[in-house]
Structure 1
Amino acid sequence: MGERGRATTIADVAARAGVSQASVSRVLNGKASVDPEIVRAVRRAVADLGYRPSPAARSLVQGRNQTIAMVVPDLENPLFQGILKGLSVAAAAEGYRVLVADTNERVDDEEEIAIEARERCDAIVLCAPRLPAERLAKLTARLAPAVVVNRTLEGDAPVIGVDYARGIRDLVEHFAALGHRRLLYLAGPESSASNADRIRGVAEAIAADPGMQISVQPCGSRLDDGFAAAEAVVAAQRDGVTGVLAFNDLVALGLLTRLRKLGVRVPEDLSVAGFDDVPMAAFATPALTSLSVPRAELGGQVWSRLRALIAGDPVGHAVVYRPRLEVRESAGPVGAAAGPDAAGPDAAGIEAVGVDAAGIDAAGVDA
């Protein structure tokens, strides 16, 4: 320790080691060009004096403050919460903290919020940005180092994402295996790039199976959006729709709540599936079939690339995850009751199409 009541300074370390303050600074900042003897002398002095570098002083010297920003469109969404947790845990392990800015899905404010957040941090993560592609490319170049999540991008910024189109195709194939031929997709926000990817997946599913009919209903991304869409869903069910693909689990969960109030049985009268496999999906009534996205792992991958950018190291290729289908109770086989004029199905109706509980397992629905 230094004199009583005074914190040890870099000058104390330099005097103890018999070197200049500049040499101490180079050692503490890990410069490779420092003579090994000087490195050993400085480290001995640091240990003897119990010196701890001031975070504020180090920030001034390095031009960094050990924080990164993450901008999201809706922090209430558990998908973004999971990515944030994975990012925060990985960053904290290396002495970084994460500051979060929520744009509340206001596309017009997104650019300004991102610029302001980046001014306060060493780097930035843009999670599911809603900006048009050209503006987003210019913004990421301006804000570098930057990583983009859930958005394809022309430019140098690394991208971490999910193959939403492939996920929707997998979900449609699952419904088809259960006998469904008429489905309804509850679309997400119009400005959402991941919604555009899902709609592309719908089109690809129809192209691969021309007998499959899938209509698109504007909806949103929140619980109350799914709740409000229930009447339109019931009308579609009366017209022959037997299954609903929701933009995400929040929409699906809101829909399930309202359908229950309207007396529509899931999955007996109508099958429902979501996307993202948020924590509450498995605890819904009935448990929600969903496509699982590795939220925490996404966050860890974001930090891996952001750390490389901050250090000036090469960054790996884009990482795109294929969602994993989680089969639960909310999506079941089409029974004799399906159709506009039918009553609710019973056990005999399910058997009429040759599928029972054992048959579902035997057919490999989990594949």
Structure 2
Amino acid sequence: MTSPRSRPTVFDVARSAQVSIATVSRVLNGRAVADQALVARVRSAARELGYRPNTVARDFRHGVTRTIGVIVPDLANPFFPDVVKGLADDVTEGDHRLLIADCGEDPDEELRLVGELSGRCDGIVLCSPRMSAENLAAVAGWGIPLVCTNRELDGLPFGTVGVDSAIGMAQAVEHLAALGHRDIGYLAGPTTSWSDRGRRAGLHSAAEQCGVSVSVTLAGSTSDAGYQALPDLLRRNVTAVLAFNDLVALGALARLRELGLDVPTALSVVGFDDLPVAAFLGPPLTTVIVPKHELGRRAGAMLRQLLVDGAIARQERLPSSLVVRESTGPPRPRPAG
């Protein structure tokens, strides 16, 4: 019984094509070779033998890892897997792979991870980074090819791909105003969140235009945060609640069920992000669609371009849009005073 054939080497290709090893190397690495018939002979021999270059060894010699580092605040947050999937779909087209790290919503750990991954990866994507503006500016000065999602800082040499949250939030306010709501509440996200600042801007601008009063209470980004923060807004007699994200909205819905308050009869609820579960809740959640997969794909494409030609960093913003489901309706008439 014969043993399986070993993987063909550059020596096998050279022997089959009747050329030197140096010539095989020049042809397969895309270097200029004047004799095109010779080029065709080498490529034909490599194809017939099933030869594949050892990219690991080649990349090591050139200081290339073909690995993209990705740092996310919380892998348990269902927002980020879609972003990472978009990244993966893009970078694999460029023969890269992802190395994913979770900083656990800790800005100091996030900074440490950037330092650690910078020695192992060709470039890094920071998803919704939590670190301070000062630390982000410092990281930008380290010379690491870097792209951020959902975080913009003017004057720094890295690319950003974000979502224009103000558009979707304004649509949500206009929808509630059209239903007759005049007192609405906002379960705000983390104080360090760039996305939250955009949502607040859209909220207050649209509320002023629609003649709607807004009450804001700090919640956070988790379902427990929404559950804990909701009673503060109920004490302010709002008729509708907008949540920083769908997870916060889920917590608010749980609290309302516990209190025996029907949605949307007693209170309308609007989320943000359109997580896969949002359409299957009881009631299905009115929310703002964020193009999560496209966000990741654009970030990957931007970083790959940066690695290829050192393109000047740029900012891109993707639109958000409201999807109306069954968690919003007209406000309950208030008793006459």
With normalisation by structure 2, the TM-score equals 0.90
Letter in 1 for 2:277: M
State the partner residue of 2:174: 173
Shift of 1:302: 1.6
Flag the 1:79–1:312 CA change in 2: closer, same or farther, 3 A: same
Letter in 2 for 1:158: G
SS of aligned partner of 2:69: strand
Shift of 1:312: 1.6
Match of 2:317 among 320, 338, 346: 320
With normalisation by structure 1, the TM-score equals 0.83
State the partner residue of 1:287: 284
User: After the TM superposition, which of the residue ranges 307-316 and 77-86 deviates more from structure 2?
Assistant: 307-316
State the partner residue of 2:187: 186
Paired residues for 1:127-206 under 5 Å: 127-142=127-142, 144-154=144-154, 155-206=156-207
| RMSD between aligned residues | 2.4
User: After the TM superposition, which of the residue ranges 84-93 and 101-110 deviates more from structure 2?
Assistant: 84-93
Letter in 2 for 1:188: G
Flag the 1:204–1:30 CA change in 2: closer, same or farther, 3 A: farther
Q: For 1:324 and 1:231, how far apart are their aligned partners in 2?
A: 28
Paired residues for 1:1-367 under 5 Å: 6-31=6-31, 33-35=32-34, 36-142=36-142, 144-154=144-154, 155-209=156-210, 211-236=211-236, 240-312=237-309, 314=311, 317-336=314-333, 338=334
Q: For 1:224 and 1:20, how far apart are their aligned partners in 2?
A: 67
Number of residues paired by the alignment?
333
* Residue ranges of structure 1 left out of the alignment (5+ in a row): 343-367
Letter in 2 for 1:184: G
Kindly indicate whether the alpha-carbon contact (under 8 Å) linking 1:144 and 1:157 is maintained by their aligned counterparts in 2: no
Q: For 1:166 and 1:42, how far apart are their aligned partners in 2?
A: 56
Kindly indicate whether the alpha-carbon contact (under 8 Å) linking 1:86 and 1:295 is maintained by their aligned counterparts in 2: yes
SS of aligned partner of 2:153: coil
Letter in 1 for 2:216: V
Shift of 1:152: 1.1
* Greater relative contact order structure (CA < 8 Å, 6+ sep): 2
Shift of 1:313: 6.0
Shift of 1:181: 1.0
Shift of 1:84: 0.6
Shift of 1:146: 1.6
Q: For 1:43 and 1:320, how far apart are their aligned partners in 2?
A: 43
Kindly indicate whether the alpha-carbon contact (under 8 Å) linking 1:147 and 1:305 is maintained by their aligned counterparts in 2: yes
Kindly indicate whether the alpha-carbon contact (under 8 Å) linking 1:123 and 1:143 is maintained by their aligned counterparts in 2: no
Q: For 1:125 and 1:226, how far apart are their aligned partners in 2?
A: 29
Q: For 1:97 and 1:137, how far apart are their aligned partners in 2?
A: 26
Kindly indicate whether the alpha-carbon contact (under 8 Å) linking 1:118 and 1:143 is maintained by their aligned counterparts in 2: no
Shift of 1:166: 2.2
Shift of 1:293: 0.8
Shift of 1:163: 0.6
CA offset digits 1:306-326 (Å, max 9, x no partner):
221222264685321121110
Q: For 2:30 and 2:62, how far apart are their aligned partners in 1?
A: 11
SS of aligned partner of 2:161: strand
Q: For 1:148 and 1:19, how far apart are their aligned partners in 2?
A: 48
Shift of 1:218: 0.6
Kindly indicate whether the alpha-carbon contact (under 8 Å) linking 2:187 and 2:230 is maintained by their aligned counterparts in 1: no
Letter in 2 for 1:177: A
Letter in 2 for 1:104: G
SS of aligned partner of 1:152: coil
Shift of 1:77: 1.6
Shift of 1:139: 1.1
SS of aligned partner of 1:168: helix
Kindly indicate whether the alpha-carbon contact (under 8 Å) linking 1:188 and 1:247 is maintained by their aligned counterparts in 2: yes
SS of aligned partner of 1:104: coil
Q: For 1:207 and 1:14, how far apart are their aligned partners in 2?
A: 75
Letter in 2 for 1:84: V
Letter in 1 for 2:285: L
Flag the 1:289–1:143 CA change in 2: closer, same or farther, 3 A: farther
SS of aligned partner of 1:229: helix
Letter in 1 for 2:282: T
Identity of aligned residues (%): 44
User: After the TM superposition, which of the residue ranges 76-85 and 11-20 deviates more from structure 2?
Assistant: 11-20
Shift of 1:285: 0.8
User: After the TM superposition, which of the residue ranges 114-123 and 134-143 deviates more from structure 2?
Assistant: 134-143
Q: For 1:18 and 1:279, how far apart are their aligned partners in 2?
A: 58
Q: For 1:331 and 1:214, how far apart are their aligned partners in 2?
A: 17
Shift of 1:332: 0.8
Letter in 2 for 1:95: D
Kindly indicate whether the alpha-carbon contact (under 8 Å) linking 2:285 and 2:325 is maintained by their aligned counterparts in 1: yes
Letter in 1 for 2:48: D
* Residue ranges of structure 2 left out of the alignment (5+ in a row): none
CA offset digits 1:228-277 (Å, max 9, x no partner):
223223323xxx31111100000001110121011111110111101000
